[in-house]
Amino acid sequence: MKVVIDCDDAALELKKVIVRHLETKGVEVTDLDYLGQKKGAYYPEIGYNLACRIKDGSFERGILICGTGLGMAMIANKVEGVYAGVCHDVFSAERLRKSNNAQVLTMGARVIGPELAKTIVDAWLVSEFQGGGSQPKVDQMHELERKSFHP
Ligand code: RB5
């Protein structure tokens, strides 16, 4: 699985921790390091850049980290076909994949510490969409998204 990651200025340290953690586990992770190319960039363009790489199929899963995880989730969800959610607990991280089939996990570096963040990433990584009763709900979300993007 190809995982892509990025963060804003509030989460540089946590991003490093997560990249190291994924590499240790043998997960192929690409750090887009948007801030390295554009100093002072705000979270919307950083999140948008990553979400576009999910949309174009370059990566299957993405992790976005900012101060709260909120802004990153909001902007990633603005890209058609990309679904993101903030998770600060393991149960939500599992459900984000199993129930919601979201490709992008967001977290807040000002909300949780590195150990919990690693555990959340681990749970999210091994979880897959389960279909079943969640399928029509996800289908409905896609249909409403189509109406919204293509009125
Ligand atoms: C800081 O720029 C803060 O607004 C950002 O990291 C994030 O928490 C936004 O949702």
Is any atom of ligand 1 closer than 6 Å to the C-beta of 73? no
Q: Count Cα neighbours of 139 within 13 Å in the Cβ-side half-sphere.
A: 6
Average pLDDT across each block of 10 residues of the chain; the chain has 151 residues. List them in order.
Answer: 97 98 98 98 98 98 98 98 98 98 98 98 98 98 97 93
Task: State residue 143's pLDDT score.
Answer: 98
Task: State residue 150's pLDDT score.
Answer: 96
- CATH ID of 2-149, from 3.40.1400.10, 3.30.1280.10, 3.60.60.10, 3.40.250.10: 3.40.1400.10
Measured from the Cα of 70, ligand 1's closest atom is 10
Return the closest-CA partner of residue 82 out of 107, 120, 56, 108: 56
Task: State residue 131's pLDDT score.
Answer: 97
Dist. CA 79–CA 128, nearest whole Å: 21
Q: Domain spans of the chain?
A: 2-149
